[in-house]
Amino acid sequence: MVLAVLFFGFTGSANAYKITVLDPGPSTSYTIYGIGATPFDATFSACALGQDPTHPTPDKGELCFSAESLFTVNVTSLELLLPNSTALNGQAAICGSNIFSSLSCSLNGGEYTLDFTDGVITPYEDFTITIEADHPKTDPVLSPTDFNNKLTANAALAPEPSSLILLSSGLASMGVGTLRRRWRLRGKAA
């Protein structure tokens, strides 16, 4: 299970927004998109009941995108790319995570790049990405059109088990060859 919540806040005097990735609640009233290729785009809509378990009832303006990893291997890192928009207004990026231990978040030109590495999303696991105003009472209400198909995610995958077996057998063969050469050299020296 994705036991994590990653926060991405935009700080500034006017608006502040958080992007969160977490385990969703039970799927009863919202769509879960299957993600089996990288990169993928996120299509946001107003959060449904249970989609964001940190808010028992959806907050006004909170947007959600829920997905299931259809990869047959672990996702070991996630890179989120989000263009700077009028809603984000070039504010500084702040990120955090308790699923990924290595974080790098920045605004480069007209695009936010959020790199989350050293973590795992297991095969066929659901996760939700939420976007919400940090101060919902004073910040403008978010619209899905501000973010739909604008957040692109690249997932890095762990090597297939068959690749690991091939690598291991190749290294073992090299080791055996080295040992045989040493034995022959010792035999000729004696």
Give 11-51 as a DSSP string.
ESSS--EEEEEE-----SSS-EEEE-SSSEE---EEPPTTT
Digit-by-digit pLDDT tens for the chain (190 residues) are: 333 333 344 333 445 577 777 777 666 678 889 988 888 888 888 888 878 777 767 777 788 888 898 999 898 888 888 888 777 777 766 676 767 788 788 888 888 888 888 888 889 988 887 777 666 565 666 778 777 777 778 888 877 655 556 566 666 677 766 777 777 777 766 6
Cβ pair 122, 74 in contact under 8 A: yes
Whether residue 149 is found in the same domain as residue 97: yes
Whether residue 98 is found in the same domain as residue 178: no
Whether residue 31 is found in the same domain as residue 118: yes
**Global pTM value:** 0.68
Whether residue 97 is found in the same domain as residue 182: no
**pLDDT for 78:** 82
Task: Please give the residue range of the domain that contains residue 178.
Answer: 160-190
Long-range pairs for 11-16 at CB < 8 Å and ≥24 separation?
11/91, 11/92, 11/94, 12/89, 12/91, 12/92, 14/89, 14/91, 14/139, 15/87, 15/88, 15/89, 15/91, 15/133, 15/134, 15/139, 15/140, 16/91, 16/133, 16/134, 16/135, 16/139
Whether residue 142 is found in the same domain as residue 180: no
Q: Is residue 35 part of a domain?
A: yes
Q: Is residue 70 part of a domain?
A: yes
Token pair of 139 as six digits: 């910040």
**pLDDT for 149:** 72
Whether residue 20 is found in the same domain as residue 47: yes
Whether residue 27 is found in the same domain as residue 53: yes
Whether residue 150 is found in the same domain as residue 173: no
Nearest alpha carbon to residue 155 among 37, 25, 49: 37
Q: Is residue 39 part of a domain?
A: yes
Q: Is residue 1 part of a domain?
A: no
Whether residue 55 is found in the same domain as residue 149: yes
Rounded CA separation 168/146 (Å): 48
CA atoms within 13 A of residue 120's CA, in its CB half-sphere: 9
Structural domain count, the chain:
2
Whether residue 119 is found in the same domain as residue 182: no
Whether residue 116 is found in the same domain as residue 187: no
